[in-house]
Amino acid sequence: MNYARNYNLLNSKFKELLFPTLLTSIAGNFAMLIDAFFISLFMGSTFLSVVQTMEPFVCFINTVYWLIGFGGSILCNLAKAEFDKKKSNELFSVSIIGILLISIIITILSFIFQDMIIQFLCHSPNMKQYFAQYFNLYLVGIVFECYKIVLAYFIRNDDFVQLQFQTFMLSNIVNITFDIVFMKILNYGIGGAALATSLGSIVGAIYISVYFFKSSRTLKIIKVKSSKIFGYLVDICRTGFSSASITLYIMLKFLVLNAIIAGILGEIGLVALNMCYNATFLVEIFILGTTQSILPITTVYYKEKDYSGVDYVIKKSVKLVMGFGIFFNALLCIFPQIVLFIFNMHNPEHVPIAMNAIRIVSFSFLSFAINYLYIFYAQSIENDRLANMISLLQGLVFPVVFATVLSHIWGSNGFWFALVLSELATVAVTFIYSRWIVRKSNGEYTGFFLNRKNAEGEVFEFTIEGNIEDAVNISKEVQEFFSGNELSALIGMAVEDMIIHILESNDKVDLIDSVIRNDEDSILISIKYSGKAINLLAEDNPESNISILKKLSDNIDYSEILGLNNVVITIKK
């Protein structure tokens, strides 16, 4: 029989994460789009300049919770992959308590220095009073939003994707409902949009906290030694910076771009830029959904040196994000009026400017999708230096440089084309860099995404159905593959005994996926399956398979990662 690895187990996990994560990404990132929609509907599209002016501050808040949320959840996942339960709980605890304290400090300081911040962000005397209303009521929800988002990253990796989705959906329902109540019924104006967003964050933060009452959760708030807290925070921020820097650079980028386009076209330029940003943000939602699906998978599989598994997930992700990029490029290039319709723009003087901007910027979507995927992938394999380089070029350096130069040469068209060119230039630089690394590595790395390669003949991979016959047959194939190794019989016996123990512990197991790696000083057998957990500490019959396996192997570790049971057997040479 053919027991070659078919990736069906990995594919099912990818699909299981992808759809709810896409929905969660849509729900979780819709607040600003909802506000923009209702502001344009009830007050007119001109007031979108207030939302665009607010973007740098919103990006700053996003940077803070991405820094802690991404960094903490990745390190927590790595600790789980290393079977260090205490460390994973410590990282979880520091992340949750840390984001609460940091966001409280930011809120207090923002209230104290609000006049200075408003003066710095808003340059239009006509819009300053409206901006102040929006800003003050937005501050009310910052602590709740930061807590909600950071906890959401952790619970997704703990296989509570549905709770994450339900939380964001509830936040949006509250936001939409009170947008209508405050802006349409009570006539609170633009401040009503910000208050509705804050209420959505508060309700969402309360709802997601039911996670702490779930008996199946694997993460807990525990006491962390004071000597460890600062070190953990530094590690969390370092790990999360490459992803968080995306929004940090967007914040800095918009401070410059807002000034440039306002100088060329005035307030209509800010409105057109906001529409382009919202169109790009629509694509970003789908790209984020895909990248956040692969992030926990590639983190775990790369840590376990399962490079073929990483390659499989990356290839599927590339197809998805390129599909999204091409679809939205074609849609908005042909029908840019869709965006104008959503945001209620009807002024005959403004429509041609906005339609032209949307058409041009839509050509950046494909390269934008590739850049985003690469940033999150590089972070998941702990190549923070590369991720930081890409996010810096794509998010700040190229847009600012190209926009400054081309707008001076070509006016507003140069400005819009600069946004396209910045994405293309980033892809080009990444391609050149990856080619250089591949050549320099002497075969250690391969391809555009710089995945590693296992030495030929050192790794055996297989997928079997959950039955005794396949367990016995695969044991023979394992022994044959490692026939030149004096431990071949022991390796085959370990595989058979563990699989039989898994089958005996479960009523039904559909698929069992395994990677056996011949390292320099040990043999590592990694087995993944979906089903009931196994108790390696339970008292066993001395004649049972698991008791025999414990005596034959040097170490057996078990953890539950991404909803899959993961067993790693170590046999030292």
pLDDT at 443: 79
For the chain, what is the radius of gyration of the CA atoms?
26
Given a cut of 80, is residue 20 above it in pLDDT? no
Q: Each residue of 435-447: pLDDT tens digit?
A: 999 999 887 888 8
Q: Where are the alpha helices (DSSP H) in 335-397?
A: 337-342, 351-362, 365-380, 384-392
Given a cut of 70, is residue 143 above it in pLDDT? yes
Q: Are the C-beta atoms of residues 257 and 399 closer than 8 Å to each other?
A: yes
Joined tokens for residue 13: 């996990």
The phi and psi torsions of 523 (rounded to 5 degrees) equal: -105, 125
The phi and psi torsions of 514 (rounded to 5 degrees) equal: -145, 145
- pLDDT tier at 416, thresholds 50, 70, 90: very high
Which string of b and e fits 179-208 if b means at least 16 CB within 10 Å?
beebbeeeebbbbbbbbbbbbbbbbbbebb
| Mean pLDDT score of the chain | 85
Given a cut of 90, is residue 27 above it in pLDDT? no
Q: Each residue of 224-263: pLDDT tens digit?
A: 888 888 889 999 988 888 777 777 787 788 888 888 988 8
**Helix 398-440 crosses helix 351-362 at what angle (to 10 degrees)?**
10
349 contacts: CB under 8 Å, gap ≥ 6: 268
Q: Each residue of 46-80: pLDDT tens digit?
A: 777 777 678 788 888 888 988 899 889 888 888 88
Q: Each residue of 547-567: pLDDT tens digit?
A: 777 777 888 877 777 677 888
- Please tell me which of 105-114, 117-126, 185-194, 339-348 the model is most confident about, judged by mean pLDDT: 105-114
213 contacts: CB under 8 Å, gap ≥ 6: none
- Please tell me which of 141-145, 170-174, 557-561 the model is most confident about, judged by mean pLDDT: 141-145
- Number of Cβ within a 10 Å radius of residue 435: 13
Q: Are the C-beta atoms of residues 501 and 545 closer than 8 Å to each other?
A: yes
Q: Are the C-beta atoms of residues 29 and 285 closer than 8 Å to each other?
A: yes
DSSP state of 455: P
% residues pLDDT > 90 (the chain): 26
Given a cut of 60, is residue 540 above it in pLDDT? no
What domains does the chain contain, in order, with CATH numbers? Answer: 11-33+47-173+204-258 (no CATH), 267-453 (no CATH), 459-572 (3.30.565.10)
- Collapsing DSSP to helix, strand or coil, 187 comes out as coil
**Helix 128-139 crosses helix 114-121 at what angle (to 10 degrees)?**
130
Full-model pTM = 0.75
* 123 against 407, higher pLDDT: 407
Distance CA 73, CA 95 (A): 8
- Collapsing DSSP to helix, strand or coil, 122 comes out as coil
